Amino acid sequence: MQRGLPAKRAIPNVRHVLLVSSGKGGVGKSTTAVNLAVALAQEHRRVGVLDADIFGPSLPRLMNLRGEPEVSSEGGQLVPLTNYGIQCMSMGFLVGNEDPVVWRGLMVMKAVQQLLYQVAWDPLDILVVDMPPGTGDVQLSIGQLIPVSGALIITTPQELSLMDARRGVNMFRKVDIPVLGLVQNMSYFVCPKCEQSTHIFGTDSGQQAADRMGIPLVGRIPLDAGICTAADEGVPITVSHPKGPEAQVYRTLARTI
Ligand code: ADP
């Protein structure tokens, strides 16, 4: 426990919390979080996803879920919505998908606390938390409020994304959260015609950055039209093509961490 901070409080019914984080927005953090969650469930874990991105929730779209969660009669807790066997909770269920959230810090923190502690999860082995991008107040508070088993940092091979990933690693180290590794998204593109693999954004930058940070590179995910369309259609590729090579990449990641 850090000096001057209250003790962390566990989320009821949750064994392990896995944070999926990124320094930058748009690097594929949410897509990775959701596919990893499905892959973990395919490995026989009971899995939930908490979308902690208050300002830009994407879980409703990615999991094809809509509607307001019920409130449980005992305790007045929010009941997660479930699809593809994954329990889900998101601010997007509460405010509507396209309504902007224009709250000040205090309101945001209240919402985060509600999402952390007032959800009636059925017992979970792993709660995957899709973190907001960056290293601000909300990210830090989540790290300080709940016990976390580990964090994954999602990045693309581009230098700008890697630079921000380093900030993320440093933040987690400050709040004593083990960083399980770096996941390099959009690592390579396999031509559907000739099957040649091209490293569009650079070859080894993720590995080099991980080495410098002293953390493992735990996954390399291809840049793939199928991953993108599947996400847009609300059926993660791990659900639509569970035996395909892309889904296997997420399965390997699920087994690695
Ligand atoms: P973030 O959560 O980091 O903001 P998203 O997961 O919302 O990023 O992804 C941003 C966009 O990139 C989405 O349109 C998504 O479908 C697409 N995307 C993410 N990962 C991949 C990938 N490996 N290949 C192709 N498109 C991807």
Report ipTM (2 d.p.): 0.99
Using the mean position of ligand 1's atoms as its centre, give its distance from the Cα of residue 113 in Å: 27
pLDDT of residue 167: 93
Residue 227, ligand 1, Cβ within 6 A: yes
Read off the pLDDT of residues 191-249 as tens digits, 9 standing for 90 and up: 889 989 888 887 779 999 999 999 999 999 999 999 999 999 999 999 999 999 999 99
CA atoms within 13 A on the CB side of 213: 27
Residue 31, ligand 1, Cβ within 6 A: yes
Using the mean position of ligand 1's atoms as its centre, give its distance from the Cα of residue 224 in Å: 10
Q: Is the pLDDT of residue 107 over 80?
A: yes
Q: Which protein residue's CA is at the shortest distance from atom 5 of ligand 1?
A: 28
pLDDT of residue 165: 93
Domains of the chain, start order? 14-256 (3.40.50.300)
CA atoms within 13 A on the CB side of 207: 5
Which atom of ligand 1 sits closest to the CA of residue 56?
4
Report d(CA 208, CA 53) in Å as an integer. 29
Read off the pLDDT of residues 110-138 as tens digits, 9 standing for 90 and up: 999 999 999 999 999 999 999 999 988 88
Beta carbons within 8 Å of 214's beta carbon, 6+ residues apart: none
pLDDT of residue 214: 96
Q: What is the pTM of this model?
A: 0.94
Residue 223, ligand 1, Cβ within 6 A: yes
If you average pLDDT over residues 153-159, what whole number do you get? 93
Q: Is the pLDDT of residue 105 over 60?
A: yes
Which atom of ligand 1 sits closest to the CA of residue 246?
23
Which atom of ligand 1 sits closest to the CA of residue 24?
3
